[in-house]
Structure 1
């Protein structure tokens, strides 16, 4: 008959053997195996924008593979609030964040005290989409100045230094960076007028308060089609499938110009390789599906699924580009 000490020793040996035999749960678990706990996609911007709409489309489409997926908006400080929140979440594959060119290429050089490390606090899962910006003016501005093309605009600005201005959605925004790059490439003097968001900035152009704007193509498309805005060029290397009649900046006479909006899904940095791969393998086919491509095209975005590695390379390249552009603009948020 076993005495108490012998029995406890035997139990300890069995427990130790079992721990050695079975893999640690955090490494073996899959996201689908988490049961009733939903996967969350955090969008660090308000509801209704391109990132939010994209996240909700992905959440619906990927549910058969990953289970319930919910979208949670955590806006604030140019995306910094949501990013800082996700970096502190458990690295279990259950929380993703929709990072973007602002959060991972511009903000690191714009904000003096960024509450996250854009390079080291997250792992890429997949690029989701890209969207071009477009340089637009109004027909009234065109009639007043004679500007009908990008070349006309540059010539007018050179003949009238400091008399033209451009609106943007704020200091450090993609529109601000595009305006500064245009000034630098063409040697012209334009006055930057920042607004608290892209919508009031566009409204200022439509109302004649400001002269021009580099706006998201999706935001301006309806006004371009209605004749309320004149599109001079898109800011990407290639023409947009949404409005292929609009030339690129290079075609319009300004070479080496490639500024666009991009956004993609990321997870906290310590998320294991197998969970990153599971998420990427589940989401990328959704982004390649014709229905998703059609949904994205409706708001001017091009679905752009990539491997985690390729998304990581893109972010490295974009940080290098915007480090130079932010310095060129002189923008800073303390």
Structure 2
């Protein structure tokens, strides 16, 4: 058989790429599933308020997921306890139509810091997919006399050391990554601000703008919007180097902070009792959605680098981060009380 010409081969290659792009979600839709599932509305439970980063991510997925599944998909906010109330609701769901959108703290830290948390991430959840990853941004309040007006990290950390426990920092709750990350930052830099928990990151940002807090670790998108509004300053990112999400912001390592690297992520997980075939379909569909250009762009605008991992990839990340956070908790003697 004669070989196709170079031009013909190029056309065939382009056609194959187009077919692959157009059929991604179609392939996901054909993933194995329990016959007849879903039979009713699918719920995505989020443990944080409307407008929070996890809530925005869940709503980004709800419409494309509904299109693939052929049933409505709704987002329910069950707020409190650093996301643990929502996580517990997912763990106890028995309708085979409920999943959760989690931050990494709920899937790694919760039980480490408080054995009384009513669910066990390793036992009660079936990982579906890692959605996105991001550093946090150290932010500072504006218009407070003892907070440096510049965004220079060295000057800010020196002022924080001088302030001691007269400064406060906010997080979405005890045991969240923002909490443990700031405690680790305290250990690495000699600062000593007091922890003040809030229901979610938006409330932390509001408190900073209102003068109740001097500093916080915030997601990049929220930090940027608050800086543009003149309500806070971005000091540095918690990644090892500069992040593509906020390339103009220096890393804290550039300011001399050593042995400090922190990343947040969000992920979908299901109750462990959900049928394996249903979990497999959801894992495939959700990871495919995360990798579509439209959703990748939306996630980037929300401050996430899209991943869309396999269920196994998320399980591996959960194990690795649980071990790392256990070391921080042990070193800093952190507890829920």
Q: What TM-score range do you get, normalising by the shorter chain? A: 0.7 to 0.9
Deviations 1:102-149 (A, max 9, x none): 211221123231111111111111011223321112453588647642
Deviations 1:14-58 (A, max 9, x none): xxxxxxxxxxxxxx9725732642333222333332222222221
Distance across 1 between alignment mates of 2:255 and 2:291 = 31
Please say if 1:225 is aligned against 2:228.
Answer: yes
Q: Partner residue of 1:171?
A: 174
SS in structure 2 of the partner of residue 52 of structure 1: helix
- Does the 8 Å CA contact 1:89/1:95 hold for their aligned counterparts? yes
Counterparts of 1:55-74 in structure 2, within 5 Å, are 55-73=58-76, 74=78
Q: Partner residue of 1:77?
A: 81
Of the three residues 311, 333, 336, the one matched with 1:333 is: 336
Q: Partner residue of 2:28?
A: none
Cα drift, residue 281 of structure 1? 1.7
Q: Partner residue of 2:310?
A: 307
Q: Partner residue of 2:201?
A: 198
**Per the alignment, do residues 226 and 59 of structure 1 end up closer, same or farther by CA in structure 2, a change over 3 Å counting?**
closer
- Does the 8 Å CA contact 2:46/2:54 hold for their aligned counterparts? yes
**Per the alignment, do residues 160 and 239 of structure 1 end up closer, same or farther by CA in structure 2, a change over 3 Å counting?**
same
- Per the normalisation by structure 2, the TM-score is 0.79
Of the three residues 125, 128, 131, the one matched with 2:134 is: 131
Of the three residues 249, 252, 256, the one matched with 1:249 is: 252
Distance across 2 between alignment mates of 1:72 and 1:163 = 39
Please say if 1:283 is aligned against 2:290.
Answer: no
Of the three residues 95, 98, 121, the one matched with 1:95 is: 98
- Does the 8 Å CA contact 1:39/1:66 hold for their aligned counterparts? no
Distance across 2 between alignment mates of 1:313 and 1:31 = 26
Q: Partner residue of 2:27?
A: none
The runs of 5 or more residues in structure 1 that have no matched partner are 1-27
**Per the alignment, do residues 195 and 122 of structure 1 end up closer, same or farther by CA in structure 2, a change over 3 Å counting?**
closer
Q: Partner residue of 2:13?
A: none
Distance across 2 between alignment mates of 1:195 and 1:88 = 25
Distance across 2 between alignment mates of 1:52 and 1:163 = 33
Aligned residues, how many? 306
Distance across 2 between alignment mates of 1:311 and 1:155 = 38
Structure with the greater alpha carbon radius of gyration: 1
- Does the 8 Å CA contact 2:42/2:72 hold for their aligned counterparts? yes
Cα drift, residue 218 of structure 1? 1.9
- Does the 8 Å CA contact 2:154/2:255 hold for their aligned counterparts? yes
**Per the alignment, do residues 291 and 158 of structure 1 end up closer, same or farther by CA in structure 2, a change over 3 Å counting?**
same
Cα drift, residue 80 of structure 1? 2.5
SS in structure 1 of the partner of residue 73 of structure 2: strand
Comparing 260-269 with 234-243, which one deviates more in the overlay?
Answer: 234-243
Distance across 2 between alignment mates of 1:276 and 1:80 = 22
Q: Partner residue of 1:15?
A: none
Cα drift, residue 205 of structure 1? 2.6
Q: Partner residue of 1:19?
A: none
Of the three residues 288, 293, 297, the one matched with 2:296 is: 293
**Per the alignment, do residues 153 and 37 of structure 1 end up closer, same or farther by CA in structure 2, a change over 3 Å counting?**
same
- Does the 8 Å CA contact 1:135/1:232 hold for their aligned counterparts? yes
Deviations 1:68-91 (A, max 9, x none): 141241333332333223223348
Comparing 79-88 with 313-322, which one deviates more in the overlay?
Answer: 79-88
**Per the alignment, do residues 198 and 39 of structure 1 end up closer, same or farther by CA in structure 2, a change over 3 Å counting?**
closer
Distance across 2 between alignment mates of 1:275 and 1:248 = 41
- Per the normalisation by structure 1, the TM-score is 0.79
